[in-house]
């Protein structure tokens, strides 16, 4: 087995035919574990009060419990031999995107407008730099062009979603997609905890920390988890930056389709990528995120000073639940076997690209979001 | 791997699920928000 040909058994839930009854049970597992994680987040500070663990108990927030509970659930289901069968219910993308649409309701439209220019500039610079670096490095290490495209898209844009889109654009094989998706989660998990800690250690203000987190962590769910750990303002900027990067996915997909059709494969009669592809591959939840902000901003401008914020607080509570379920799903989707199946070259490319992304994103965020006021 | 490989059914299925999930999340999120603003979903029903 070569690095480019990992075991097909590694295929994540997304790329196997779903068995709906199993997926339904998987969904129930996610919901139950989410309730457990929430119960821990609510009660551990009280349980540890007055003990040696009081400070830790007070500091640990719900994303940590949700991911930890997901990982433990993953271990338990793997030992029982049912994890793969239930994995169709681990819908990280659905939960996180629904949560992000609801998050849009808590972000005043003026914040999106004020930060949009910087977010677009950062996304364009960062996606271009990281994509080209990853593509170049993977080429130097002799990786297959399709795997190069998947790795570069995943690292530079938005993780698993981008890998899925790129896989369709370059006609990749499902094993390559499964492998890339596993790598994304493998690298995203530590980033959730490391980046907020580093942002704190570097003394970054909320906007720069948020822009750094949003520009650096690959997968949208992990960005949200890290942003939530860094604070509400950092979460808002991280989400705006990540949503902007998501919006570039369609453009990259069309560019990849054209590049592979005309340069890499050169098949006679390959259909030209059409403009409609931009819309087809555009992540629609971005529209939902902006629409929610518009709706909530209009609502708040017309509601009373007391009822308006109270109502939006309900949306925030519901949003948190969707995030809890998404973070539990991240833990459940984690596959330790990916490293063994990968070989060192793609892992090396991904690691190097992540470090490159880390440094470049910090530089760009520090310049573009310096002095940003909420 | 041959360069002439076409996308496997697994990749196509993943792409379709991702697109459907995208729309489903958008619709679900906006529908929930509207229900909240309309007062149908209140703080009492969220744990």
Best residue in B3, B33, B40, B41 for a mutation probing chain A (most A CBs within 10 Å): B33
Neighbours of A35 (CB within 10 A): 16
Which pLDDT does position B17 carry in this prediction?
73
Using a 10 angstrom Cβ sphere, with 0-12 exposed, 13-18 middle and 19 or more buried, the burial of residue A268 is exposed
Q: Mean pLDDT across the stretch B19-39? A: 91
Q: What is the pLDDT along chain A (374 residues), one digit of tens a residue?
A: 333 333 333 444 445 556 778 889 999 999 999 999 999 989 998 898 888 888 777 777 888 889 899 999 999 999 999 998 998 899 888 998 898 899 889 888 888 888 889 999 999 999 999 999 999 999 999 998 889 999 999 999 878 778 877 887 787 876 777 788 778 888 888 898 899 999 999 999 999 999 999 998 888 888 998 999 999 999 999 999 988 888 887 778 778 877 877 766 655 566 666 667 677 777 788 888 889 999 999 999 898 888 888 999 999 899 899 989 988 998 898 876 655 666 788 889 999 999 999 999 999 999 999 888 87
* Chain B residues whose beta carbon lies within 8 Å of the beta carbon of residue A144: 1
Which pLDDT does position A187 carry in this prediction?
87
Contact at CB, B10 and A5, closer than 8 angstroms: no
Residue identified by tokens 């939960």 is A95
Of residues A95, A97, A314, nearest to B43 (C-beta): A314
Which pLDDT does position A11 carry in this prediction?
44
User: Given a cut of 60, is residue B30 above it in pLDDT?
Assistant: yes
Q: Which of A230, A245, A238, A232 is nearest to A199 (CA)?
A: A230
Which pLDDT does position A79 carry in this prediction?
94
Backbone angles phi, psi at A193, to 5 degrees: -95, -35
Whether residue A364 is contained in a domain is answered as yes
Contact at CB, A292 and B5, closer than 8 angstroms: no
Of residues A94, A299, A314, nearest to B42 (C-beta): A314
Alpha helices in A203-270 (DSSP H): 206-216, 220-230, 232-247, 249-259
Q: How far apart are CA A330 and CA A343, in angstroms?
A: 23
Q: How far is CA A371 from CA A98, A115, A236, A368, B27, in A?
A: 31, 12, 16, 9, 36
> A174 to chain B, minimum CA–CA distance in Å?
5
Take residue A350 and report the two structure tokens written for it.
């991904």
Contact at CB, B7 and A102, closer than 8 angstroms: no
C-beta separation of A105 from A296 below 8 A: yes
Q: How far apart are CA A272 and CA A169, in angstroms?
A: 12
Whether residue A150 is contained in a domain is answered as yes
Domain containing A78: what range?
A: 8-368
Best residue in A4, A5, A12, A14 for a mutation probing chain B (most B CBs within 10 Å): A14
Residue identified by tokens 């960062």 is A126
Domain count, chain A: 1
DSSP character at residue A268: T
Whether residue A99 is contained in a domain is answered as yes
Of residues A145, A174, A299, nearest to B11 (C-beta): A174
Which pLDDT does position A18 carry in this prediction?
61
Structure ipTM over 0.95, yes or no: no
* Chain B residues whose beta carbon lies within 8 Å of the beta carbon of residue A17: 13
Contacts 24+ apart (CB under 8 A), A142-146: A142/A345, A143/A3, A143/A4, A143/A345, A143/A346, A143/A349, A144/A4, A144/A176, A144/B1, A145/A170, A145/A260, A145/A264, A145/B3, A146/A170, A146/A171, A146/A172, A146/A173, A146/A176, A146/A260, A146/B1, A146/B5
Whether residue A273 is contained in a domain is answered as yes
Of residues A38, A280, A287, nearest to B26 (C-beta): A287
Which pLDDT does position A341 carry in this prediction?
66
DSSP string, A134-153: HHHHHHHTT--HHHHHHHHH
Dihedral (Cα; A252, A254, A258, A259), 10-degree rounding:
10
Q: Which of A123, A191, A131, A186 is nearest to A155 (CA)?
A: A131
> A168 to chain B, minimum CA–CA distance in Å?
6
Q: Which residues contact A356 (CB under 8 A, 6 or more apart)?
A: A129, A130, A133, A134
Q: How far is CA B5 from CA A146, A161, A206, A272, A277, in A?
A: 10, 22, 46, 18, 21
Whether residue A3 is contained in a domain is answered as no
C-beta separation of A232 from A238 below 8 A: no
A11 close contact with B: CB closer than 8 A: yes
Coil vs helix vs strand at A222? helix
Report CA torsion sign: B18, B20, B23, B25.
negative
A66 close contact with B: CB closer than 8 A: no
Residue A351 CA, chain-centre distance (Å), reads: 17
Q: How far apart are CA A262 and CA A361, in angstroms?
A: 32
Q: How far apart are CA A265 and CA A359, in angstroms?
A: 34
C-beta separation of A302 from A275 below 8 A: no
Using a 10 angstrom Cβ sphere, with 0-12 exposed, 13-18 middle and 19 or more buried, the burial of residue A50 is exposed
Which pLDDT does position B11 carry in this prediction?
72
Of residues B5, B29, B43, nearest to A288 (C-beta): B29
C-beta separation of A94 from B26 below 8 A: no
Contact at CB, A94 and B33, closer than 8 angstroms: no
Contact at CB, B18 and A93, closer than 8 angstroms: yes
Q: Domain residues of chain B, as ranges?
A: 10-37
DSSP string, A87-121: GGG--HHHHHHHHHHHHHTTS-HHHHHHHHHHHHH
Coil vs helix vs strand at A227? helix
């Amino acid at each position: 087995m070569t690095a480019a040909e990992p075991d097909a058994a590694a295929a994540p839930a997304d790329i196997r035919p779903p068995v709906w009854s199993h997926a339904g049970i998987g969904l129930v597992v996610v919901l139950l574990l989410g309730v457990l994680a929430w119960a821990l987040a609510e009660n551990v500070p009280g349980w540890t009060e007055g003990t040696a663990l009081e400070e830790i108990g007070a500091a640990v927030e719900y994303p940590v419990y949700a991911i930890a509970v997901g990982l433990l659930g993953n271990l338990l289901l793997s030992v029982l031999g049912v994890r793969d069968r239930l994995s169709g219910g681990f819908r990280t993308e659905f939960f996180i995107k629904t949560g992000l649409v609801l998050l849009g309701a808590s972000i005043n439209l003026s914040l999106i407008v004020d930060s949009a220019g910087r977010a677009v500039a950062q996304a364009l610079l960062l996606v271009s730099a990281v994509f080209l670096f990853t593509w170049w490095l993977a080429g130097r290490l002799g990786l297959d062009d399709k795997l190069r495209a998947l790795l570069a898209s995943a690292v530079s844009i938005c993780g698993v979603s981008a890998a899925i889109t790129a896989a369709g654009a370059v006609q990749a094989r499902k094993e390559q997609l499964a492998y890339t998706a596993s790598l994304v989660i493998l690298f995203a998990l530590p980033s959730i905890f490391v980046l907020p800690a580093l942002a704190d250690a570097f003394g970054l203000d909320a906007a720069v920390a948020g822009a750094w987190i949003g520009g650096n962590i690959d997968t949208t769910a992990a960005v949200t988890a890290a942003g939530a750990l860094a604070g509400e303002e950092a979460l808002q900027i991280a989400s705006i930056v990540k949503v902007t990067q998501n919006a570039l996915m369609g453009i990259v997909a069309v560019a990849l389709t054209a590049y592979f059709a005309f340069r890499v494969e050169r098949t006679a009669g390959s259909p030209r990528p059409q403009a409609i592809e931009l819309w087809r591959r555009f992540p629609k939840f971005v529209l939902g995120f902006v629409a929610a902000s518009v709706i909530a901003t209009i609502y708040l401008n017309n509601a009373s000073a007391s009822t308006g914020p109270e109502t939006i607080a309900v949306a925030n509570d519901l949003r948190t639940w969707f995030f809890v379920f998404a973070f539990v799903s991240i833990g459940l989707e984690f596959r330790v076997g990916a490293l063994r199946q990968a070989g060192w070259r793609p892992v090396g490319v991904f690691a190097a690209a992540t470090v490159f992304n880390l440094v470049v994103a910090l530089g760009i965020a520090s310049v573009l979001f310096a002095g940003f006021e909420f | 791997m041959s360069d002439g490989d076409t996308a496997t059914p697994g990749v196509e299925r993943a792409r379709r699920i991702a697109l459907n999930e995208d729309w489903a999340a958008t619709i679900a999120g906006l529908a929930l928000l509207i229900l909240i603003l309309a007062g149908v979903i209140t703080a009492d029903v969220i744990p």
